[in-house]
């Protein structure tokens, strides 16, 4: 290769990929491979759905913002759509659920969190639920806040109140036992949380068969 051709090669721009914008709109976002790699390294949520990364060693594909540990560059492939990644033999990551639209992913996360808390409201903690869902506690805390619009503690308290309300109208257990079964360590905390959520005390709620609320 002579000096002129070598200089031309150095000036040649990085290969760029045409990536479809969400919703099959006419808009096209042109990204070079280095740009996509940088987006993946900074876990750029703004580009979720604009392109997908696939890992050849695990055969999974992810969103750019996936919280999973980053793979070595030589093991990463880029795809413009989920269908392309799946046709290439990759399956969706269970952590970032790239096969779901943003709203669907949030709904799926909340459904899993609700199920985990409801299954053991007296033992549900950020650490235990995040371990069950295969994510880090702080990651789950942020995702819950973004999806539900309330802090983790508020979401759990609401689920515990719902569990307690069910026990009140379906069992004859004393209120103190209902409070403990729902995960409340203090009876006064339970009364305050229940009245805040339902507008009436637990006893009045039970007497009404669950129909009485403010």
Domains recognised in the chain with CATH numbers: 10-92 (3.40.10.10), 100-214 (1.10.10.60)
Per-residue pLDDT reduced to its tens digit, 82-99: 888 999 999 999 888 887
Highest mean pLDDT among 17-31, 64-78, 88-102: 64-78
> What is the C-alpha end-to-end distance of the chain, expressed in Å?
82
Does residue 5 have a pLDDT over 80? Answer: no
Q: Distance between CA atoms of 25 and 35, rounded to whole angstroms?
A: 22
Which tokens belong to 71?
A: 């793979």
Q: In the predicted model, what is the mean pLDDT of residues 26-44?
A: 75
Quick one: pLDDT at residue 3?
A: 45
Quick one: pLDDT at residue 147?
A: 81
Report the range of poorest mean pLDDT among 144-148, 157-161, 180-184, 192-196. 144-148
Q: Distance between CA atoms of 183 and 121, rounded to whole angstroms?
A: 5
Percent of the chain at pLDDT > 70 equals 82
Quick one: pLDDT at residue 30?
A: 58
Alpha helices in the chain (DSSP H): 3-11, 33-41, 82-87, 102-119, 126-133, 137-148, 152-170, 175-181, 187-198, 202-207
Which tokens belong to 47?
A: 């580009």
Per-residue pLDDT reduced to its tens digit, 58-73: 999 999 999 888 899 8
Per-residue pLDDT reduced to its tens digit, 109-126: 888 999 999 999 988 999
């Amino acid at each position: 290769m002579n000096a002129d051709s070598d200089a031309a090669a150095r000036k040649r721009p990085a290969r760029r990929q045409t990536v479809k914008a969400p919703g099959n709109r006419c808009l096209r976002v042109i990204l070079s491979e280095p740009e996509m790699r940088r987006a993946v390294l900074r876990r750029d949520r703004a580009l979720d759905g604009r392109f997908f990364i696939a890992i050849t060693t695990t055969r999974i594909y992810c969103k750019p913002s996936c919280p999973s540990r980053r793979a070595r560059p030589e093991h990463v492939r880029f795809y413009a759509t989920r269908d392309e990644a799946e046709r290439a033999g990759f399956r969706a990551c269970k952590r970032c659920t790239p096969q779901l639209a943003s709203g669907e992913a949030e709904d799926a996360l909340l459904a899993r969190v609700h199920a985990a808390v409801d299954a053991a409201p007296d033992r549900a903690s950020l650490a235990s639920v995040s371990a069950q869902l295969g994510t880090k506690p702080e990651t789950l805390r942020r995702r819950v806040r973004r999806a539900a619009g309330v802090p983790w503690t508020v979401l759990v308290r609401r689920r515990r109140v719902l569990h307690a309300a069910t026990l009140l109208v379906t069992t004859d257990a004393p209120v103190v036992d209902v409070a403990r079964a729902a995960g409340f360590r203090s009876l006064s905390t339970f009364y305050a949380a229940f009245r805040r959520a339902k507008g009436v005390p637990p006893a009045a709620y039970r007497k009404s068969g669950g129909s009485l609320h403010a």
